[in-house]
Amino acid sequence: MSITVAADPSLSPVEFQTHPSRYRHWRLAFDGEVARLTMAVDAEGGLRPGYELKLNSYDLGVDIELADAVQRIRFEHPEVRCVVIDGALDKVFCAGANIQMLRSSGHGWKVNFCKYTNETRLYLEDMSEVSDIKTLAACNGATAGGGYELALACDEILLVDDSNSSVSLPEVPLLAVLPGTGGLTRVVDKRMVRRDRADVFSTLVEGIKGKKAIEWDLVDDIAPLSQFEAKRDEMAQALIATTPDKGDCVGVELTEVPMKRCEKGVRGDFVILKETGGRGASLTLTLPSELGPQIGDEAHAAACSWWFFQAMREFDLALLELRINKPEINLVNLRVIGNPQVALDLDAMLAAHQDHWFVHEVLHFAKRVFKRLDMTAKSFFALVDGGTAFAGTFLEIALAADRIYVLDDAETDVQLGVSMLNGGAYPMGNGLTRLETRFLGEPEKAGEVLAHSGLFDAASADELGLATEAMDEIDWEDEIRVLQEERASYSPDALTGMEANLRYAGPETMETKIFGRLTAWQNWIFQRPNAVGDSGALQCYGTPVRPEFDYNRT
């Protein structure tokens, strides 16, 4: 059974698992080393009633299919070296996020839609960086708003050169909001467009086309319609020439993750999410009793049934369930159950065989899941007590938490563990490891923790700085309960802002800028009357009524 989630229980649930045979909005085709991903949005295929997805505009359902396609390219077709993304409509590539959908959606839905969209765009860039699968946006027509943001996430952009087709980010003049899926950040940080030109560009409803788009570094090349396909193929081959040949890699089928609904939550073979009352929930991952595959070829043969890959996929779906279907949950207790030595044995296997393409991809999938954990707007407490296995890769779950509470009791065997993978296999969005981020003011401490490779007890964890607080058995249950009740009683808005600031200490990257600016946009601009009031620009868009603004600058 697939996990289905919904922001409103009165609406049909949203399914986060899909398959190309069920796509309504994308066509995915393969020709040797080239994959072609064509945007062909079904105007009547919106997730919710009340809007049409005209002009290849998109909603969450379109992005769910795009995310699925990206994962399938990486796992099912590792031979691919370039993905060409184009549009099926005449004279239109993509009109961006559907305005009627945004207008009719509650704030929470808008927030999670934009966050998921941002993560999917970043997955395209991650695919290029670590999987050597380049992307070319072949913009065969008007490319506006979120459509241009999708193109910006690609390695190169080709725009058709005609009298109508332009690239544009018209959100400021048309909607009184900002390009919400990384547009402004990628224009100046990735394409390095000059600030004054970016300012002009972002206030032009009509956008910029032709040679000026090249001159301003907004696209990489242009071609008239008669030469567009030839230029597209030429650019794709040039991108392929920059990547290694992967023709000997054999893909694996991405089968559906076996998650089922249970009372107050969802359950998989390895992951259980359950509401616990009082605006709280528990998210528990259980390790198997044995290591399982011990070499890359064995993991490859196991494919989606390899327990580590399946557990990470289940954990990913549980996080989406928390975000979309559990808005009332404020605090989540994280636990990893099992033998911590199994976790360290897994890491030894992963490190020894990370050059195997499948192991490599699963490692980077886990990295993306942990990043989704970082970016989930819930408070997370890691509870390290008897029977837990926060070791190696699974220590990352604790390090991603806002607090780590460790039971330090002579009568209870509590062990944590560190492996070489904690030293760089799973970087955060800021480019640092979670240990480096934790010990930003004392960088030598991260090295000290890594030097304790292997298992250690609760007292050692506290000495190494891994415990927010270590408690004995007498205090454990009552103290944890009080701390949970206190945290769950705070304003979720204040907590979201606080956590987003504290989780990303250290250097800023394009990724942290995207999410930081998104947080400001979605939690301030997108709630202001100038955008969403009765006479706001988002409400008046597409009608004869002009928006009314409060022109006081704040």
pLDDT digits (tens, 9 = 90+) for 298-343: 999 999 999 999 999 999 999 999 999 898 999 999 999 999 999 9
* pLDDT band (50, 70, 90) for residue 3: very low
Q: Residue 469 above 70 pLDDT?
A: yes
Give the DSSP H/E element, type plus range, for residue 156.
Answer: strand 156-160
pLDDT value of position 4: 37
pLDDT higher than threshold 50 for residue 122: yes
% pLDDT > 90, the chain = 82
Tell me the domain boundaries of the chain. 18-240, 260-498
Span 127-168, pLDDT tens digits: 999 999 999 999 999 999 999 999 999 999 999 999 899 999
**Per-residue b/e over 273-298, b at no fewer than 16 CB within 10 Å?**
bbbbeebbbbbbbbbeeebbbeebee
- What pLDDT was estimated at residue 111? 87
User: What is the rounded distance in angstroms from the CA atom of residue 203 to the CA atom of residue 291?
Assistant: 56
pLDDT at 454 over 60: yes
Q: What is the mean pLDDT of residues 210-218?
A: 98
Cβ atoms of 327 and 376 within 8 Å: the answer is no
Which residues fall within 8 angstroms of residue 146, CB to CB, at 6 or more apart? Answer: 57, 58, 94, 96, 97, 117, 179, 180, 181, 183
Residue 161 near residue 224, CB atoms below 8 Å: yes
pLDDT digits (tens, 9 = 90+) for 231-250: 999 999 999 999 999 989 99
Residue 517 has pLDDT above 80, yes or no: no
pLDDT band at 262 (very low <50, low <70, confident <90, very high): confident
3-state secondary structure 54-77: HHHEECHHHHHHHHHHHHHHHHHC
Residue-wise pLDDT tens digits, 50-94 = 999 999 999 999 999 999 999 999 999 999 999 999 999 999 999
Note the pLDDT of residue 421: 98
Nearest C-alpha neighbor of 220 from the set 180, 184, 190:
190
Position with higher pLDDT, 15 vs 46: 46
Q: Is the pLDDT of residue 107 over 70?
A: yes
pLDDT mean over 515-531: 79
Rounded to 5°, angle at Cα 386 from 397 and 270:
50
Residue 2 has pLDDT above 90, yes or no: no
- Per-residue pLDDT at 272: 97
Compute the distance between CA of residue 254 and CA of residue 242 in angstroms, rounded to an integer: 27
Q: Which of 27, 97, 20 is nearest to 55 (CA)?
A: 97
User: Residue 7: is its pLDDT beyond 60?
Assistant: no
pLDDT above 80 for 466 = yes
**pLDDT tens-digit profile of 407-452?**
999 999 999 999 999 999 999 999 999 999 999 999 999 999 999 9
Domains 18-240 and 260-498 share a fold: yes
What average pLDDT is seen over the chain?
93
Look at residue 511 and tell me whether its pLDDT is greater than 50. yes
> What does the alpha-carbon distance between residue 195 and residue 199 come to, in Å, rounded to a whole number?
6
Burial letters 225-252, b for 16+ CB under 10 A, else e? eeebeebbeebbeebbeebeebeeeebb
Report the phi/psi class of residue 372: left, alpha or beta, with left for phi > 0 and alpha for psi in -120 to 50.
Answer: alpha
Residue with more model confidence, 325 or 453: 453
Q: What percent of the chain has pLDDT over 70?
A: 97
18-240: what fold?
Answer: 2-enoyl-CoA Hydratase; Chain A, domain 1 (3.90.226)
Query: CA-CA distance, 367 to 308, in Å (whole number)?
Result: 13
Measured CA to CA, the distance from residue 140 to residue 224 in angstroms comes to: 10
- pTM value is 0.95
Arch. (CATH architecture) of 260-498: Alpha-Beta Complex (3.90)
Counting Cα atoms < 13 Å in the Cβ hemisphere of 204 gives 14
Q: Quick count: other Cβ atoms within 10 Å of Cβ 195?
A: 10
3-state helix, strand, coil in the chain (%, to 5): 45, 20, 35
Over residues 528-552, the mean pLDDT reads: 90
What confidence score (pLDDT) does residue 10 get?
A: 52
Identify the pLDDT of residue 218.
98
Could you give the angle at which helices 307-320 and 357-374 cross, rounded to 10 degrees? 30
pLDDT, residue 11, reads 59
Question: For the stretch 89-122, what's the b/e string if a residue is b when 16 or more beta carbons lie within 10 angstroms of its beta carbon?
Answer: beebbbbbbbbbbbbebeeebbbbbbbbbbbbbb
